[in-house]
Structure 1
């Protein structure tokens, strides 16, 4: 067991069987789960599906929102990736490619006509050729991942010296307690938003329902870092499926130790690796976040984005962004 300053990192043991290795067949991510989509979209989602011989061989969920002017299909709140899930076939690489292209094309044909469609595909989908052939713009997005086969000692050795030092420093001043209650986490998150005069980018109601749901279903947990005075100074929300644990949410007070989130993430990494799960840092959208996450020595992993927009929608949204930039609280860090 990796230790920091001779202190074993706190990890709560789960019953054997709670986590399982990925099945041989194509697996849904947690973001594909029906209960997740029901909450994240408030029921406004549909499923494109392809059947062969009475068996579903491919499916792709999508959300639909209608505004006064637009019909939109984007990723729902707190839903990091979606995209097609296609059952593999045996045989040559060429046969598998043909099968994937054919099934994906049938799924795309079932997607609704809308003014703007956008999804980020699960990292297991490494080819968006079918989307490109159907007029979608394909772009590269990135996340950091630590493979499930990595040992704790290997993960520690890959941290850069700055990250390692702030984790050591934070461990001397903070106590990590797992399994915060949803009410405690949400109250803490809301208080930090208010202190910064920011709004919740995900929507208060949806976030509350999802946090409660993934904790109740043992599909996620909430961890907190407490100072010497016993006050909560930082917290993270984690979710998982049979393949990966995802860094979903975090919040901290203004004067929290600079290594508070780093220590929480390191604790989460240990929990993931002990359960043979890949740890996914869930992407980044700025150079500063990239620099922070890069310190953990994880593998840079591509996630493909697929997008199709009508010209009028694209021009209108571009103009709106230039005139009124969004003022929302960054979901992580």
Structure 2
């Protein structure tokens, strides 16, 4: 156990494997990997490519699917970010900007003519000027991140008092098990959805195949928290690439300890820091998730969204949103 100012906190768990930094690869994130996209899109994706003198200097993957009458290119299930991958150049800031605008513009010109396009860009992409110049709407989205060089003591001090207390309490009541079997995680996840009368938003087949793939490739892991009687009460799925570990999935039983997921995330943070990786909490979509993640004291980090929609699609979406309250009372509409 580690102590800070005479206070005891649960140990951050280091992986059994070597913890030296992972070497940089061509793909900027796990979500850009070919195998990830093959599974997440069920082989329904393409790659815009820019070459110079036979060398690839820019790439941008995109998915394609039909949604009723609409032809759309959105982020695939469980794929948090995408965006262009551009080989950098040296020189002045003006030369680098010109290079990014030129290559990104040529990638954009290869994107499909569809009713709706939307992607969230990798957080290392700090501007979306080329998209704005090509008529796309650019918006800001956010995630929380803990830097790779942060120490365990620094992370613990950054937690708010409520988060620290629930992690301490959960560590006394629960046992964390590393490398949960994929089938146990999936069965637990589906059972919790059924208990709440909800369906799998990612698609059962896609989620199952991605979990098996990232575990088999040692590009991710599943952590479980067990309570009395050896009962699994919470689980999280983490994936990583050469620069970050991402909080991808979580599930907990309705009667689980209130700090069960926080304890598992604390364990995941330890794995990321041991590997010299940034820990990415992977965004939030509502105030309650923001409040929960904000308790970890991580750095708020901007991710840019780029989108473009046809007029008919926008009218349909606006009408659907206006009718949303009524649909609560008319579920068969």
Which category describes the TM-score, using the shorter chain as reference length?
over 0.9
Instruction: Give every structure 1 segment of 4 or more consecutive aligned residues whose post-TM-superposition deviation is greater than 6 Å.
Output: none
Q: CA deviation at 1:7?
A: 5.1
The answer to whether 1:274 aligns with 2:274 is yes
Note the C-alpha offset of 1:9: 3.9
Do residues 127 (structure 1) and 99 (structure 2) align? no
Distance in 1 separating the partners of 2:319 and 2:24: 44
Cα distance in 2 for partners of 1:5, 1:92 equals 50
SS at match of 2:228: coil
Tell me the secondary structure at the aligned position of residue 149 of structure 2.
coil
- Mapped pair 1:20 → 2:15: no
TM-score normalized with structure 2 length: 0.93
Alignment-derived partner of residue 149 in structure 2: 149
> Could you tell me how far 1:319 is from its partner in structure 2?
1.7
Shift of residue 123, structure 1, vs aligned partner: 0.1
User: Which aligned pairs between 1:223-262 and structure 2 lie closer than 5 A?
Assistant: 223-262=223-262
Aligned equivalents of 2:10, 2:42: Cα separation in 1: 44
Query: Gapped runs of 5+ residues in structure 1?
Result: 328-333
Deviation digits for residues 90-115 of structure 1 (CA, Å, limit 9, x no counterpart):
11111110000000000000001000
> Helix, strand or coil for the counterpart of 1:315?
helix
Q: Distance in 2 between matches of 1:8 and 1:207?
A: 30
Shift of 1:321: 3.6
CA contact (8 A) 1:167 1:263 kept: yes
Q: What's the counterpart of residue 14 of structure 2?
A: 11
Distance, in Å, in 1 between the alignment partners of 2:8 and 2:232 is 22
Query: C-alpha displacement at 1:5, in angstroms?
Result: 3.8
Q: 1:8–1:241: structure 2 CA closer, same or farther, 3 Å change rule?
A: same
TM-score normalised by length of structure 1: 0.93
2:212 aligned partner:
212
1:138-170 CA distance string (max 9 Å, x none) = 000000000001011111111111111110111
Task: Identify the residue that residue 174 of structure 1 maps to in structure 2.
Answer: 174
CA separation of 1:215 and 1:16: change in aligned 2, threshold 3 A: same
Counterpart-to-counterpart distance in 2, 1:266 and 1:254: 21
Q: CA RMSD in A?
A: 1.7
Cα distance, 1:68 vs. partner? 4.1
- Does the residue aligned with 1:229 lie in a helix, a strand or coil? helix
Gaps of 5+ in 2: 329-333
More displaced stretch, 52-61 vs 3-12: 3-12
Native 8 Å contact 1:146 1:298 kept in 2: yes
User: Aligned equivalents of 2:153 and 2:135: distance in 1?
Assistant: 46
In 1, the alpha carbon distance for the partners of 2:23 and 2:150 equals 14
What do the CA deviations read for 1:182-209 (whole angstroms, capped 9, x no partner)? 0000000000000000000000000000
Higher alpha-carbon deviation: 144-153 or 64-73: 64-73
Report SS of the residue matched to 2:180: coil
